[in-house]
């Protein structure tokens, strides 16, 4: 009886594993196999188990994983073709439905979009879901993070005016709140939320500079134990640092699906915004280019599509 070569089984296993699916390997291998080949594959890989009746069947978890990987290219294309307002509205809706593990997506959108973009996302949310983002935040979020998720309602001043004395005073407020975090979560402090959710990004840059003068550390260095607050500060001050963290987490082995989706989300939403900066900073931090890293961990049409989007950023 003919059996598939071990290198064919290995190639097929790799085609099924990771980000996306290697369609070329899949087609070239499976297209020439007969029933005895596929039977040997079922017996020789971890994708299948044998039940009490000695019947080889797919492991349910692998079926779900493959379903997601086949859909990954479709999801990326659909996100890319959406109007940015609709895209953000849908990303927020999904994040709220997913629960605390995805609240960073709401913070990300609330802090890295312009005032007009954020207003557009709120309008799109009304049209698509016939509810407001604020309603759904109040409904879904029962933790203290609800205070920070109000960032999606912000309409910041985007001019050049900065009052340095006010910035210095607000830096002291933030510093005091963060240093007293053991007694009171800074997110529970109304002044902290007010400063981060209403001040212009240029003003906040001055606030964070004064914070470093007072504390001796960058503000995000003092927020290691407060991930939501760290996400907020990085998205407002150095968004490329935040997006690099999301990308690194997404491409780490063994992470959950919500974390993995960060790869598609960042590449699609930042391709025409600040991808050039993200790529430059990624190279500095990791000593490998973002393109090289994504080529290493992705496969098939999904990889090809991400490469096209990455190239748009220069």
Question: Is 10 inside a domain boundary?
Answer: no
CA distance 305 to 1: 40
- How high is the pLDDT of residue 277? 97
Q: Are residues 199 and 257 in the same domain?
A: no
Residues 105 and 95 sit within 8 Å (Cβ to Cβ): yes
Question: Which of 11-25, 133-147, 165-179 is the least confident region?
Answer: 11-25
Q: Are residues 248 and 296 in the same domain?
A: yes
Supply the DSSP symbol for 222.
G
* CA atoms 93, 151, 147, 179: torsion sign: positive
Question: Is 213 inside a domain boundary?
Answer: yes
| Confidence bin at 14 (pLDDT 50/70/90) | confident
Q: Are residues 199 and 220 in the same domain?
A: yes
Structure tokens at 6: 């071990």
The average pLDDT across 92-112 equals 96
Q: Where are the beta strands (DSSP E) in 165-296?
A: none
CA distance 197 to 287: 35
pLDDT score of 3 more than 70:
no
pLDDT tens readout for residues 121-138: 999 999 999 999 999 999
Could you list the residue range(s) of the whole structural domain that residue 254 is in? 241-312
- How high is the pLDDT of residue 313? 66
Q: Are residues 143 and 187 in the same domain?
A: yes
Q: Are residues 264 and 130 in the same domain?
A: no
Bridge partners of residue 49, in order along the sequence = 57
Residue 278 or residue 41, greater confidence: 278
- How high is the pLDDT of residue 25? 80
DSSP SS3 for 140: helix
Q: How much is the pTM? A: 0.90
> How far is CA 202 from each of CA 107, 149, 185, 238, 276, rounded to the nearest angstrom?
18, 21, 26, 12, 21
Question: Is 133 inside a domain boundary?
Answer: yes
- How high is the pLDDT of residue 42? 73
- How high is the pLDDT of residue 5? 60
- How high is the pLDDT of residue 265? 98
Residues 65 and 58 sit within 8 Å (Cβ to Cβ): no
With a CB cutoff of 8 Å and minimum separation 6, the contacts of 10 are none
Q: Are residues 219 and 124 in the same domain?
A: yes
CA distance 261 to 76: 10
Angle of CA points 115, 242, 148, to nearest 5°: 55
Residues 250 and 262 sit within 8 Å (Cβ to Cβ): yes
> How far is CA 3 from each of CA 8, 11, 35, 258, 285, rounded to the nearest angstrom?
10, 15, 10, 38, 47
Q: Are residues 119 and 222 in the same domain?
A: yes
**Residues of the chain by 3-state class (helix, strand, coil), percent to 5:** 70, 5, 25
Q: What is the CATH number of the domain that holds 194?
A: 1.10.220.10
Residues 52 and 38 sit within 8 Å (Cβ to Cβ): no
Domain count, the chain: 2
Q: Are residues 298 and 268 in the same domain?
A: yes
Q: Are residues 89 and 230 in the same domain?
A: yes
DSSP SS3 for 55: coil
- How high is the pLDDT of residue 59? 75
| Selection from 62, 162, 295, 192 nearest residue 307 by Cα | 295
Buried b vs exposed e over 89-115: b needs ≥16 C-beta within 10 Å?
Answer: bbbbbebbeeeeebbbbbbbbbbbbee
- How high is the pLDDT of residue 48? 74
pLDDT score of 54 more than 70:
no
Q: Are residues 172 and 298 in the same domain?
A: no
- How high is the pLDDT of residue 224? 85
pLDDT score of 227 more than 50:
yes
Query: How many C-beta atoms lie closer than 10 Å to residue 131's C-beta?
Result: 12
Question: Which of 52-61, 66-75, 141-150, 220-229 is the least confident region?
Answer: 52-61
- How high is the pLDDT of residue 55? 74
Question: Is 30 inside a domain boundary?
Answer: no
pLDDT tens readout for residues 151-170: 999 999 999 999 999 999 99
Question: Which of 22-31, 70-79, 210-219 is the least confident region?
Answer: 22-31
Question: Is 50 inside a domain boundary?
Answer: no
pLDDT tens readout for residues 285-298: 999 999 999 999 99
The average pLDDT across 60-89 equals 91
DSSP SS3 for 56: strand
Residues 84 and 117 sit within 8 Å (Cβ to Cβ): yes
Average pLDDT, the chain: 91
* CA atoms 138, 141, 145, 150: torsion sign: negative
Q: Are residues 253 and 222 in the same domain?
A: no
Q: Name residue, tokens 């040997």.
A: 40
- How high is the pLDDT of residue 273? 96
pLDDT score of 1 more than 50:
no
pLDDT score of 196 more than 60:
yes
The average pLDDT across 31-59 equals 72
Residue 60 or residue 249, greater confidence: 249
């Amino acid at each position: 009886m003919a059996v598939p070569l071990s290198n064919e089984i290995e190639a097929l296993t790799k085609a099924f594993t990771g980000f996306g699916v290697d369609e070329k390997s899949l087609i070239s291998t499976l297209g020439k196999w007969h029933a005895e080949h596929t039977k040997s594959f079922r017996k020789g890989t971890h994708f299948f188990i044998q039940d009490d009746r000695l019947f080889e069947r797919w492991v349910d978890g692998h079926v779900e994983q493959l379903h997601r990987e086949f859909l990954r290219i479709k999801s990326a294309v659909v996100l890319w073709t959406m109007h940015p307002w609709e895209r953000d509205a849908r990303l927020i809706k999904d994040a709220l439905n997913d629960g605390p593990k995805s609240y960073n997506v709401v913070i990300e959108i609330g802090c890295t979009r312009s005032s007009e973009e954020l207003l557009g996302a709120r309008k799109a949310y009304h049209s698509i879901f016939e509810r407001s983002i604020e309603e759904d935040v109040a409904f879904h979020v029962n933790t203290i993070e609800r205070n920070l998720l109000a960032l999606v309602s912000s309409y910041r001043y985007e001019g050049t005016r900065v009052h340095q004395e006010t910035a210095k005073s607000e830096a002291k407020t933030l510093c005091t709140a963060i240093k007293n975090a053991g007694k009171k979560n800074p997110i529970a402090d109304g002044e902290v939320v007010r400063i981060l959710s209403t001040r212009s990004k240029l003003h906040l840059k001055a606030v964070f500079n004064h914070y470093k003068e007072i504390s001796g550390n960058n503000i995000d260095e003092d927020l290691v134990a407060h991930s939501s607050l760290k996400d907020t500060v990085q998205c407002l001050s150095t968004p490329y640092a935040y997006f690099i963290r999301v990308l690194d987490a997404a491409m780490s082995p063994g992470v959950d699906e919500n974390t993995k989706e960060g790869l598609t989300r960042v590449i699609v939403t930042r391709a025409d915004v600040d991808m050039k900066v993200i790529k430059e900073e990624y190279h500095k931090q990791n000593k490998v280019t973002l393109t090289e890293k994504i080529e290493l961990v992705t496969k098939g049409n999904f990889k090809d599509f991400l490469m096209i989007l990455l190239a748009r950023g220069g």
